[in-house]
Amino acid sequence: MSTVTLYHYPQCSTSRKALELLRERGIEPTIVEYRKTPPSAAEIQAIARATGAPLRALLRTKEPEYLAQGLDNPQLTDAQLAAALHATPALIERPIVVTAKGARLGRPVEKILEVLD
Q: Which domain CATH number covers 57? A: 3.40.30.10
Each residue's pLDDT tens digit, 42-51: 999 999 999 9
SS3 at position 3? coil
What dihedral angle (degrees, nearest 10) is formed by the CA atoms of 36, 41, 46, 49? 110
- Give the total number of structural domains in the chain: 1
Question: Which percentage of the chain shows pLDDT scores above 90?
Answer: 97
CA distances from 113 to 4, 14, 25, 30 (A): 12, 14, 10, 16
pLDDT of 13-67, one tens digit each?
Answer: 999 999 999 999 999 999 999 999 999 999 999 999 999 999 999 999 999 999 9
Q: What is the pLDDT of residue 117?
A: 85
B/e letters for 50-71, b = 16+ CB within 10 Å, e = fewer, are bbeeebeebbbeebeebeebeb
Could you count the other beta carbons within 10 Å of the beta carbon of residue 83? 17
Rounded to a whole number of angstroms, the distance between the first and last alpha carbons of the chain is 7
Whole-angstrom distance, CA of residue 90 vs CA of residue 9: 9
- Taking residues 110-114, report their average pLDDT: 97
Q: Report the pLDDT value the prediction gives residue 27, as an integer from 0 to 100.
A: 96
Check if 12 is active-site: yes
- Residue from 12, 46, 50, 90 carrying the catalytic annotation: 12
**Which residue range forms the structural domain that includes residue 50?**
5-115
